[in-house]
Amino acid sequence: MNTTEINLNFNKADFEEVYFKNRENNMLFSKLIKKQFMLSLIFGILSLASLIYSTMSNKSWGIFTITTVIFVLVLNQLIKKMAPELKWERSIRDFLDEQAKFISRKLTLSENTLTLKRDTDITIMRWKDFKKVVIDDKAISLYGDETFVFPKKSMNWHDFDLLRNEILLRIKN
C-alpha cells in the first residue's frame, strides 16, 4: 500500500487567517451588525442629549424616557446579533488553543484513508466519508464527521500541492 506522510507546522495566526478570512477587522462595522450598531449609537446620543436637556430645563422627561427605552431595545437587538458571532469566535480560539498544546503533527495519506496524528492522538477518516471539500489559495478544508483545516502556511508548497492533488484524486463529489 502506497502512503505519503506530510509533517505539519502549527502557527495559531495561520489558522486564524483561514477561519476569520471573511470577517472585517471590527465586528461592529461588519455587514451583519453595522446597521444595528449605528442605530444604537444614534439612540444613545439622542438619549444622552435628552437627558442633558431635561436636566437643564427640568422638563421634557417624557422624551428622555422614550429615547432611553428605544435605546435599550435597539441595544438589546445589537447584543442578540453579536452574541452568536462572539460565541463562534470564542469557540474557534479555544479550539486553536487546544491544538497549540500538541507538539508534533503528521498527516498520512493512503489509498483509502487520511490519518492525522497529533502526539498520541490519532484521527483516521476514510476518503469516502468526506462530504465537502474547499480548496483555495490559503487552505484546504475537509468536511465530514470530522472537519480538517490545513492552511497552506502549515506545510511547504510541495506538500500543499501533493495534498491538494491527492484530495482531488481520492474524493469524488
Please report, for the domain that includes residue 163, its CATH number: 2.30.29.30
Same domain, 115 and 161: yes
Same domain, 75 and 107: no
| Predicted confidence band of residue 24 (pLDDT cuts 50, 70, 90) | low
Q: What are phi and psi of 141, to 5 degrees?
A: -120, 130
Q: How many domains does the chain have?
A: 2
Residues 162-173, mean pLDDT to the nearest whole number: 82
| Predicted confidence band of residue 97 (pLDDT cuts 50, 70, 90) | very high
Range(s) of the domain holding residue 60: 31-99
Nearest to 163 by CA among 147, 145, 141, 143: 141
Q: Which of 49, 69, 99 is the last residue before a domain boundary?
A: 99
pLDDT above 70: residue 74: yes
The reported pLDDT for the residue numbered 76 is: 96
The reported pLDDT for the residue numbered 13 is: 87
Euclidean distance between CA atoms 6 and 24, whole angstroms? 32
Residues 15-26, mean pLDDT to the nearest whole number: 74
